[in-house]
Amino acid sequence: MRKYGQILKSSLVTILLASSLVGCGVVSDGSTNTKNNTGNAAAGKGEGKIVIGLSLDTLKEERWQKDRDIFSEKVKELGGEVKVLAANGDDAVQLSQAEQLISQGVDVLVVVAHNAEATAPIVEKAHKEGIKVIAYDRLINNAEVDYYISFDNVRVGELQAQAVIDQAPKGNIVYIGGADTDNNAHMFKTGAMNILKPLEEKGDIKIVYDQFSKDWKPEEALKNMENALTSVKNDVQGVVAANDGTAGGAIQALTAQGMAGKIPVSGQDADLAAVQRIAEGTQQMTVYKPIKSIATKAAEMAMSAAKGKDIATETTVYNGKFDVPSVLLDPMPVSKDELSILIEDGFHKLEDVYKNVPKDQWPQQ
């Protein structure tokens, strides 16, 4: 009976531990089914195969589902497999999940950081086990990251601000930023201010509101935009929003005041809801960062790193302590006249983009 009790106790502990791991974040085997984000990340390595660990901030946004799917498919094409864990915006969970992937003996760890500072210990823990770390899209600060792949994020901010200024060269401008914990959000803001600050110094514009939005949440951006409108009694001529989620929150606030479509609003990521707003005329533009390009290149880098090969990089990005070898890809501004780019790339379907537009106004096919 004692032996049976010990077995039962051990089984219960195992079940509770497994439940806690699943409950703290999304677990995926890298399947391309974006409707089912659960899978068997806890399974061991496939014999003889290279295994890449992918630690994601979140899978709640459409954009990251696409990254996961393309990355996973490319790794499989190259003969490897991917173990995916998503923390849903929780720093402690992301650290725990990264440790889980490291303990499974992945060959390389690819990290989309929720918090540029809080994820630094992941790099040290991986290196202790001889595992290289690639920061994907978001830089990890103050850690000796092996490689960083992203888009030129300062350029993204410049494109966003320029698109708004082209439509609103004079008057009051609102800046709705992303998450203060995300290094990219600071880079986007730097780029935007490269355009906006000189114009403010000339007296052409005035930046009347400038605030980050916690965790990139649209509802936080909505509150920020409401506060901005209140502070200047709706006297706003343009809104530079750091991504499509924050743009959506800002546009919701503008809609409530009957201002949507009357002032330009920027965005980023080419989310379907955003490109639909662009087709309808309530959002001025988005910055398209071809996910196929970054996910495919990252997969190639991860597989090369796993094989001990050197990876060619053209630049470095300083993360507070180290100059990280980096691959930076070119972003692309997309306004109403360029929506065909997204359709031609297979990123969105024409019928989805123009879903809310009368069919006689659809572009010629």
Mean pLDDT by 10 residues, the chain (365 residues): 43 41 44 37 58 95 91 98 96 97 97 95 97 97 97 96 98 97 94 98 98 97 98 98 98 98 97 97 96 96 96 94 96 96 93 95 82
Cβ of 201: how many Cβ atoms within 10 Å?
A: 9
Q: What pLDDT is attached to residue 7?
A: 42
Specify the CATH superfamily of domain 2-145+290-329. Response regulator (3.40.50.2300)
Other Cβ atoms less than 10 A from the Cβ of 260: the count is 19
Rounded-to-integer distance, Cα 205 and Cα 209, Å:
12
- Please report the pLDDT score of residue 37 as a whole number: 38
CB 80 within 8 A of CB 53: no
The whole-number pLDDT of residue 364 equals: 76
In this structure, CATH architecture of domain 153-289+332-361? 3-Layer(aba) Sandwich (3.40)
Dihedral in degrees, nearest 10, Cα atoms 298, 302, 308, 314: 20
Burial class of residue 20, CB neighbours in 10 A (0-12, 13-18, 19+):
exposed
Q: CATH 3.40.50.2300 residue ranges in the chain? A: 2-145+290-329, 153-289+332-361
In the numeric block, which tokens belong to residue 313?
């990089």
Answer whether 250's CB lies under 8 Å from 239's CB. yes
Residue 351 token pair: 């019928």
How many CB atoms lie under 10 A from the CB of residue 235?
Answer: 11
| Strand-by-strand arrangement of the 205-211 sheet | 205-211, 171-176, 238-241
What is the structure's pLDDT at 35?
A: 36
Cβ neighbours of residue 126 under 8 Å, at least 6 residues apart? 98, 102, 109, 132, 133
The pLDDT of residue 365 is 61
- What are the residues whose beta carbons fall under 8 Å from the beta carbon of 273, sequence distance 6 or more? 244, 248
Residue 61: predicted pLDDT: 84
pLDDT at 23: 38
In the prediction, which pLDDT does 48 show? 77
Question: pTM (2 decimals)?
Answer: 0.77
pLDDT at 62: 82
pLDDT at position 45 is 47
Please list the residues that pair with 327 across neighbouring strands: 149
- Burial per residue of 73-89, b for 16 or more beta-carbon CB atoms within 10 angstroms, e otherwise: bbbeebebbbbbbbbeb
CA distances to 185, 271, 306 from 316, rounded to whole Å, are: 19, 29, 21
pLDDT tens-digit series, residues 217-232: 999 999 999 999 999 9
